[in-house]
Amino acid sequence: MKYLLLLSILPLSTLALAEEQHGGSQHDGHHSPLKHNYVEAGYLTTGDSDLEGFELLGSFAINHNWHVIASYEELSGSKDSEASTDGAHHVGGFVDEDEEQWQIGIGYSHPVGTHSEFVNRLYIGDRNITETPPPEAHADPHSIDERLYVFESGWRSAPASWFEYSLLLSYTEAEEEGGSLGASLASQFKLNDRVGLYIEITHVDSDNKFFLGPRFSF
């Protein structure tokens, strides 16, 4: 999986160079449909367990190239104890899990043509995971509180006035779990210039997350 993620950089680079040759010099003086001033909130779920919750995210442009971004998410539910963070096997087969995570970072975007850009972001954050076994297990809850460092880089484009997509590769360094590669594919269907429906699928190691919610741009 890690090699596939690394190899996926190649088509992104080829696409960027091709658009740069055809229209990269035309970006100045044109209004870009890609905004870095927005807030979004919505439903968040995982693909490998029954965890559900919400995510809040906001981005603010410092200038034409730089922006700051922050997010907060909460998930809760139950999962198979064989996949628990401490590797414990509890009676009943499932544990209750609560997860809380926040991130804050800074991003730099490099325009490519009038409707696309390369995006690089660096985050620092914190993740807390608490697993509570069923009463019949006679076991105490297990918690992990770890610092996160995340770097992501990729491609963002708006091929139509009503549609925008992005493909980002990431590397996450967690204090407890070590390093991991990931990827996210996202799209926004714009109802107008300020309101859109945002959908994102994220894969990091063996974990998948799905987000769905409105985005308000300004």
Structure confidence at residue 59 (pLDDT): 98
Helix (H, G, I), strand (E, B) or coil at 44: strand
Cβ(202)–Cβ(209) below 8 Å: yes
Phi, psi at 96, each rounded to 5°: -80, 140
Instruction: At 199, list the tokens.
Output: 């959908």
Structure confidence at residue 50 (pLDDT): 78
Structure confidence at residue 152 (pLDDT): 97
Structure confidence at residue 141 (pLDDT): 86
Q: From first to last of its 218 residues, what are the pLDDT tens digits of the chain?
A: 443 344 444 444 444 444 444 444 444 445 688 999 999 999 999 876 678 999 999 999 999 999 999 999 999 998 766 555 555 444 456 788 999 999 999 999 999 999 999 999 999 999 999 998 877 777 788 899 999 999 999 999 999 999 999 999 999 999 887 899 999 999 999 999 999 999 999 998 778 899 999 999 99
Cβ(90)–Cβ(137) below 8 Å: yes
The structure tokens 């043509």 sit at 113
Domain segments of the chain: what residues? 43-109+190-218
The answer for residues whose C-beta is within 8 angstroms of residue 155's C-beta and 6 or more apart is: 12, 15, 16, 116, 117, 118, 119, 166, 167, 168
The answer for residues whose C-beta is within 8 angstroms of residue 76's C-beta and 6 or more apart is: 51, 52, 53, 96, 97, 98, 99
